[in-house]
């Protein structure tokens, strides 16, 4: 989820929109690149930053306040 927000700058396509196919293909294409791991590492670092510099607990990851903070940080980037 976090990678999707970072990739598309917080804008999600609705499932019934025509752009969903294009966006899905963009994500697949990026995941097929040789350096796809670096994209996930970058996103993981942003999750840690949103958690105040510490790895968030599984419980905290599921909470709406953390999710909203993370999304707002990903959109601002």
Report the pLDDT value the prediction gives residue 77, as an integer from 0 to 100: 61
Averaged pLDDT for residues 47-56: 85
The answer to whether 20 touches 14, Cβ cutoff 8 Å, is yes
State the pLDDT confidence band at 62, using cuts at 50, 70 and 90. Answer: confident
Domain ranges of the chain: 2-76
Q: Could you identify the residue written with the tokens 């990678």?
A: 3
The answer to whether the beta carbons of residues 19 and 25 sit under 8 Å apart is no
| Average confidence score pLDDT of the chain | 82
Q: Is 70 exposed, middle or buried (0-12, 13-18, 19+ CB in 10 A)?
A: buried
pTM over 0.85: no
């Amino acid at each position: 989820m976090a990678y999707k927000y970072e990739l598309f700058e917080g804008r999600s396509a609705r499932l019934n929109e025509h752009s969903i196919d294009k966006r899905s293909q963009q994500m697949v294409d990026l995941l097929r690149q040789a350096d796809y791991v670096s994209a996930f590492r970058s996103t993981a670092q942003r999750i840690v930053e949103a958690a105040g510099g510490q790895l968030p607990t599984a419980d905290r990851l599921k909470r709406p306040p953390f999710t909203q903070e993370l999304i707002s940080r990903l959109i601002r980037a």
